[in-house]
Structure 1
């Protein structure tokens, strides 16, 4: 399936303060977020499923899909998509367990090649951290824009860059070849998530337009 990856919001409840995650997500979608990943490593399955269902209500009618980080059981239970790491469930097995037509993505970090059969099961690959980030403690050092470019060239699947990205950097990642950018703190911690998402969306759209013009 084709997934709009331009502005990919990854949730982190610790960054939102007292604000409910669904309130931040609703505002961010109004600002231009195109896909949402529910990530909460501390939540148990029941709590995560409850948040996922609230987010699905918020996203209903917007065309913005929801993916769940790591938890295939929750994703399958609520009919959402799934995002996995390289040490999580195999993409082929995940695809078989998920509802038809939902997004499935994988983190490749340094743009490593996918295993045989994985490409057909996946909709996108996330590459990062592009720059060092404190949002994910085990993310490792920044891989840089050259690696993003190489990953975009070497993968038939669309690539989304993640790690240390804000509105000022989003255009650089897309200009390097990414289909979009994944952001966490730039939106989740923003005083105005709607405005923060809008600024990132404008940067991404401008970079995509510039890339298209350069390819003519």
Structure 2
């Protein structure tokens, strides 16, 4: 799976499903190779299992129609059920190796990281992507790491034996996303931000 340049993370309490789908559809005018760099990450831990599955099925249909990717938080069983393109692992999730053994080599495995050292550990564990957060101020997420953390992570990853994509999360929006990429991130992720289909500007 291609590493997404932009990941839209679901939290329907903040961004209702119709709004998320409208934001996703804004990328429909882009060429297929650009749409393939967009992902939706199914999170919404407050939803019941049935509601999460139903939302996941609708998002699977929407992403497949667009040519985008679907990533599922933590729930490997749900990732299998939905035919997701990837899974995102938190601190209490299974190991990267266990996720890959169950889901197969073609599925992206990303890991939540809150320090540069955790990024390096994710790389050593064989993750495809390390999601470093919070880069900017985010309610309830502690002090922001800032762009220097992205620069440090990129420099230290460059000296390592295995490449891993670096994704910036936390307070990222359309204005700050290019700064994250310039600091060394391979992609950005966001919950609330509306990028307005501006993937070319982000990638540029």
- TM category (shorter chain) comes to 0.7 to 0.9
Q: Could you tell me whether the CA contact under 8 Å between 1:105 and 1:124 is conserved in 2?
A: yes
Matched residue, 1:92: 97
What is the aligned residue count? 190
Q: Could you tell me whether the CA contact under 8 Å between 1:92 and 1:117 is conserved in 2?
A: no
The Cα of 1:23 is off from its aligned counterpart by 2.5
The Cα of 1:100 is off from its aligned counterpart by 4.9
Matched residue, 1:145: 147
The Cα of 1:106 is off from its aligned counterpart by 0.5
Equivalent runs, 1:192-211 vs 2, <5 Å: 196-199=195-198, 201-206=199-204
Write the distance in 2 (CA, Å) between the matches of 1:124 and 1:110.
14
The Cα of 1:115 is off from its aligned counterpart by 5.9
Matched residue, 1:7: 6
Gaps of 5+ in 1: 188-195, 207-216
Segment of structure 1 superposing worse, 19-28 or 63-72: 19-28
Match of 1:125 among 126, 130, 146: 130
Match of 1:171 among 174, 178, 182: 178
Write the distance in 1 (CA, Å) between the matches of 2:22 and 2:150.
28
Matched residue, 2:24: 26
Q: Aligned pair 1:45/2:49, yes or no?
A: yes
The Cα of 1:4 is off from its aligned counterpart by 3.3
With over 3 angstroms needed to count, the CA separation of the structure-2 counterparts of 1:205 and 1:96, relative to structure 1, is: same
Equivalent runs, 1:56-135 vs 2, <5 Å: 56-80=60-84, 81-111=86-116, 112=118, 113-114=120-121, 118-119=125-126, 122-134=127-139
The TM-score normalised by the length of structure 2 is 0.83
Q: Could you tell me whether the CA contact under 8 Å between 1:69 and 1:82 is conserved in 2?
A: yes
Q: Could you tell me whether the CA contact under 8 Å between 1:127 and 1:151 is conserved in 2?
A: no
With over 3 angstroms needed to count, the CA separation of the structure-2 counterparts of 1:73 and 1:167, relative to structure 1, is: same
Runs of 4+ in 1 over 4 A off after TM superposition: none
Q: Could you tell me whether the CA contact under 8 Å between 1:170 and 1:203 is conserved in 2?
A: no
Gaps of 5+ in 2: 30-34, 158-162
The TM-score normalised by the length of structure 1 is 0.79
